Amino acid sequence: GAVVSQHPSRVICKSGTSVKIECRSLDFQATTMFWYRQFPKQSLMLMATSNEGSKATYEQGVEKDKFLINHASLTLSTLTVTSAHPEDSSFYICSARDATRGNEQFFGPGTRLTVL
């Protein structure tokens, strides 16, 4: 149990375009999903917390208009990187929390975004 998927696994896009990344909890209902960004050889940086049916809470310094998050159901959250630029190139990882299991966060496999 506790499987989280992400799609796509990697994406290359041109500067100025928007990219949508999906995060799904496959075998449990995720009341909360989290979006992280990870640069090479660095730790995970939390970008935002997404609760089903409500607006996401963004961490300090993360532009909410640039990184649009939607958590429309208990099994799906999406992150849209709008007007992407080369500096947005990174490894984006989501995690999902099952409220019945307390604090545990289960991570997806990540999405490698490259902006040309």
Partner 1 sequence: GENVEQHPSTLSVQEGDSAVIKCTYSDSASNYFPWYKQELGKGPQLIIDIRSNVGEKKDQRIAVTLNKTAKHFSLHITETQPEDSAVYFCAASIENNRLAFGKGNQVVVIP
Residues near partner 1 (CB under 8 A) = 4, 6, 32, 34, 42-44, 46, 49, 57, 93, 97, 102-110, 112
Which C-beta is closer to partner 1: that of 16 or that of 99?
A: 99
Distances (CA, A) of 66 to 26, 49, 55, 106: 27, 15, 15, 25
CB of 16 to partner 1, least distance (A): 27
CB of 51 to partner 1, least distance (A): 9
CB of 40 to partner 1, least distance (A): 10
3-state SS, residue 87: helix
Q: Cα(first)–Cα(last) distance of the chain, in Å?
A: 37
3-state SS, residue 84: coil
